């Protein structure tokens, strides 16, 4: 292969690899859904999507940036070897452990191995700003799509805010006149990521929380019912119970996303007293379904619904709490 062609191919692979790493890191950081075929969301939001508190895309972005800017052939080869080896490991996790498919992760692995094969010719350093532009463009599209699926005409019977409806659950603190609503779904990877963030934070100085609603579907109905029943069955302050049962649910996050029926059975076995609360949980979830339907809430989750203004599919956790 002519050196000029090898350099062009190396530049193209490095550009795409860095753009993919940055894009996936941004999706994870802002809890946005993936666009396109496959189960990308289940992969990047799995327990393997984060290492030492950082999305794995961050580590990939650092290595790709080094591979583009470093001119020493041996050092570039070492960086690309780390990328290729890491990609191979994550491909094994994707297919053998998570039994899923992420188009972006797979494409990243392909370009990492191609870049390793042609690393002798250093890429054009203009690949860095081009990669950043591509990643930000993909992030903007994902954010725009998430916003487009968030219904803007929220109307609650009686004209009051969604938080004031009887079906809203005050499990993160009492609901006040200024409380927003939080809509989540247990087969939504970003929602489980949000629950994980909530279980790691303390709200001792924030007494008022959001009204919680669960978006129920045929796929997640059983695990949601079991989850709510487990919370209802435990003694103690419901905020503490909600966060502790959420922590248990998150310990089986991969199963909740890939096999929700099996996750429901496992959760029921861990909270045997939840069986006595199943009927109450089902009644509560039916009331929530009716309220969300009448409020014209779309399919997007997690969804932040303030008492005034448009619902938002992306938000900061502290916005859930009235100060």
Task: Give yes or no for residue 157 having a pLDDT over 50.
Answer: no
Residues 121 and 222 in one domain: no
The average pLDDT across 19-36 equals: 84
∠ CA 86-88-89, nearest 5°, is 65
The enclosing H or E element of 213 equals strand 211-214
Predicted pLDDT at 162: 80
Predicted pLDDT at 152: 47
Give the best-scoring range by mean pLDDT among 46-50, 129-133, 184-188, 290-294: 129-133
Confidence of residue 318 (pLDDT cuts 50, 70, 90): confident
CA 232 to chain centre: 26
- Asked which of 147, 173, 192 is the last residue of a domain, the reply is 147
Q: Give me the domain span that covers residue 136.
A: 3-147
Residues 69 and 138 in one domain: yes
**Model confidence pLDDT, tens digit, residues 133-156:** 999 999 888 877 766 655 445 545
Confidence of residue 216 (pLDDT cuts 50, 70, 90): very high
Task: Give yes or no for residue 222 having a pLDDT over 70.
Answer: yes
Can you tell me whether residue 313 is helix, strand or coil?
coil
**Model confidence pLDDT, tens digit, residues 229-254:** 999 999 998 999 999 999 999 989 88
Provide the number of structural domains found in the chain.
Answer: 2
Residues 168 and 286 in one domain: yes
Whole-model pTM: value is 0.66
Predicted pLDDT at 287: 95
Confidence of residue 22 (pLDDT cuts 50, 70, 90): very high
**Summary mean pLDDT of the chain:** 86
Task: Give the other-Cβ count within 10 Å of 246's Cβ.
Answer: 21
* Token pair for 151: 């219904």
Predicted pLDDT at 160: 56
Residues 214 and 167 in one domain: yes
Residues 167 and 131 in one domain: no
More confident residue, 34 or 209: 209
Residue 294 lies in a domain: yes
More confident residue, 180 or 313: 180
| Residue 305 and residue 153 in contact, taking contact as beta carbons nearer than 8 Å | no
77 conformational bin, left if phi > 0, alpha if psi -120 to 50, beta if neither: alpha
Residue 157 lies in a domain: no
Domain with residue 184: its CATH number is 3.40.30.10
**Model confidence pLDDT, tens digit, residues 84-106:** 999 999 999 888 887 778 889 99
- Asked which of 147, 182, 212 is the last residue of a domain, the reply is 147
Task: Give yes or no for residue 6 having a pLDDT over 80.
Answer: yes
The average pLDDT across 161-181 equals: 86
Residues 123 and 39 in one domain: yes
Confidence of residue 323 (pLDDT cuts 50, 70, 90): low
Nearest to 10 by CA among 59, 66, 62, 67: 67
Residues 143 and 263 in one domain: no
Predicted pLDDT at 91: 92
Residues 202 and 316 in one domain: yes
Predicted pLDDT at 150: 54
**Model confidence pLDDT, tens digit, residues 40-74:** 777 887 778 888 878 899 999 999 999 999 988 89
């Amino acid at each position: 292969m002519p050196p000029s062609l090898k350099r062009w191919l190396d530049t193209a692979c490095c550009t795409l690899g860095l753009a993919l790493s940055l894009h996936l890191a941004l999706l994870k950081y802002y809890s946005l859904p993936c666009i396109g075929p496959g189960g990308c969301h289940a992969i990047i939001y799995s327990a393997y999507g984060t290492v030492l508190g950082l999305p794995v895309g961050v580590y990939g972005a650092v290595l790709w940036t080094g591979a583009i800017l470093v001119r020493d052939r041996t050092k570039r080869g070492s960086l690309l070897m780390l990328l290729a080896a890491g990609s191979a490991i994550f491909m094994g996790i994707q297919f053998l452990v998570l039994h899923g498919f992420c188009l972006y992760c797979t494409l990243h692995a392909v370009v990492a191995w191609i870049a390793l094969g042609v690393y002798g010719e250093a890429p054009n350093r203009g690949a860095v700003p081009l990669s950043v532009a591509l990643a930000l463009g993909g992030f903007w599209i994902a954010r725009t799509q998430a916003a487009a699926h968030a219904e803007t005409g929220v109307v609650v019977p009686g004209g009051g805010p969604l938080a004031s409806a009887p079906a809203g659950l005050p499990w993160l603190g009492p609901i006040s006149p200024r409380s927003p609503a939080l809509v989540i779904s247990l087969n939504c990877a970003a929602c489980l990521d949000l629950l994980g963030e909530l279980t790691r934070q303390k709200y001792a100085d924030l007494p008022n929380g959001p009204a919680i609603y669960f978006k129920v579907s045929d796929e997640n109905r059983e695990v949601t019912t079991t989850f709510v029943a487990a919370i209802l069955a435990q003694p103690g302050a419901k905020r503490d119970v909600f966060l502790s049962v959420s922590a248990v649910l998150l310990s089986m996050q991969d199963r909740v996303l890939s096999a929700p029926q099996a996750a429901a059975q496992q959760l029921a076995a861990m909270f045997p007293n939840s069986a006595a609360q199943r009927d109450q949980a089902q009644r509560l979830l039916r009331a929530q379904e009716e309220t969300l339907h009448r409020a014209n809430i779309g399919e997007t989750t997690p969804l932040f619904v303030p008492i005034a203004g448009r619902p938002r599919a992306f938000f900061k956790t502290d916005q859930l709490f009235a100060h």
